[in-house]
Structure 1
Amino acid sequence: MTISSTAQRTARTPLGVLPWATLVVSVAGLAVSAYLTYEHFTAGSTLACPDTGVVNCAKVTSSQYSKLFGIPVALLGLAFFAGMTALSVPQMWRTSSRWPGRLRLVGVLTGMVFVCYLIWAELFQINAICLWCTVVHALTLVLFALVIIRLALVPPAS
């Protein structure tokens, strides 16, 4: 089989539901992260989240842990989900190149490490939980699971 026939066969291969699910989850994460980024830069009070008690979005999003090396965590989340959205479009799943799959895997692994760090910061350092951040954490976990499951079901060609 020639390279061009392999590329043509790959382009016609049905994607199944998991790649489409990664796209939907990535776009949802992009939307929530865009909202959190907007709130960060406008110092908004429209987080629609209680500002007292354990659930306190304002306390979390304005804490010292809301920035990493001076970069707002919300902006890092926006960049993460923008990258994952780009890697989750059908063309990236159908390509014969191994790089999109590798980047997806590295992306979700990095995302999960970062989510663990942020959950630790919320629970043990800030002593407050942000509901919007929790949505981002959950979407990252779902995205991680989808990418890992897809990789287990359809391993990359060697």
Structure 2
Amino acid sequence: MRKPLGVIPWLVLTLSVLGVVVSAYLTYEHFTAGTTLACPETGVVNCMKVTSSKYSELLGIPVAVLGLLFFVGMTALSLPALWRTPSPWPSRLRLAGVVTGVVFVLYLVWAELFRINAICLWCTVVHGLTLVLFALVVIRIALPPLED
């Protein structure tokens, strides 16, 4: 009989897939210089200003691509087989991933608020997903294992 997963692994998988979708959209917009971000271009909320700023790349790599890679990795690490494995490595990699993600989110929010002076709604969705993933992964690690 397979070990039960509980709700947290399924939430992590679902949110990771949602993150892939939003990050793929932001990546598409980055490379096409599109204006279909469905986000105002005036005032504090200005996706175009954020996604075309110098902070939209890190070492020449678009942060949207980095976000896409993060969520693809989290999706892979959140497959049911990797939650059930007796190996500690998937759990450690998930934790390292979400910690890295949160640190990067803090940097990006700082850049939006104090350097770009604008907020991207789509980026905020990605930031929120990352923070919730962090919380869920940490909670799951803190919980006792589920019994059959």
TM-score relative to the length of structure 1: 0.90
Matching residue's letter, 1:13: K
Q: Which residue of 2 aligns with 1:141?
A: 131
Aligned to 1:31: 21
What are the equivalent positions in structure 2 for 1:1-158 lying under 5 Å apart? Answer: 12-154=2-144
Q: Which letter maps to 1:47? A: L
Equivalent AA in structure 1 for residue 82 of structure 2: M
**Structure 1: any 5+ residue segments left out of the alignment?**
1-8
Task: Give me the CA root mean square deviation.
Answer: 0.9
Cα distance between partner residues in 1 of 2:107 and 2:63: 11
Q: Which amino acid is 2:143 matched to?
A: L
Instruction: Give the whole-Å Cα distance in 2 for the aligned partners of 1:144 and 1:86.
Output: 16
Task: Count how many residue pairs are aligned between Structure 1 and Structure 2.
Answer: 145
Gaps of 5+ in 2: none
SS in 1 for 2:98: helix
* Residue equivalent to 1:6: none
TM-score by length of 2: 0.96
- What SS does structure 2 have at the residue aligned with 1:104? helix
| Counterpart code for 1:82 | V
User: 1:96 deviation in Å?
Assistant: 1.0
Q: Deviations over 1:65-87 (max 9, x none)?
A: 00000000000000000000000
- Deviation, 1:154, is 3.2
Identical counterparts, % of pairs = 76
Q: Which runs of 4+ in 1 moved over 2 A?
A: none
In the alignment, the residues of structure 2 paired with residue 145 and residue 121 of structure 1 have an alpha-carbon distance, to the nearest angstrom, of: 23
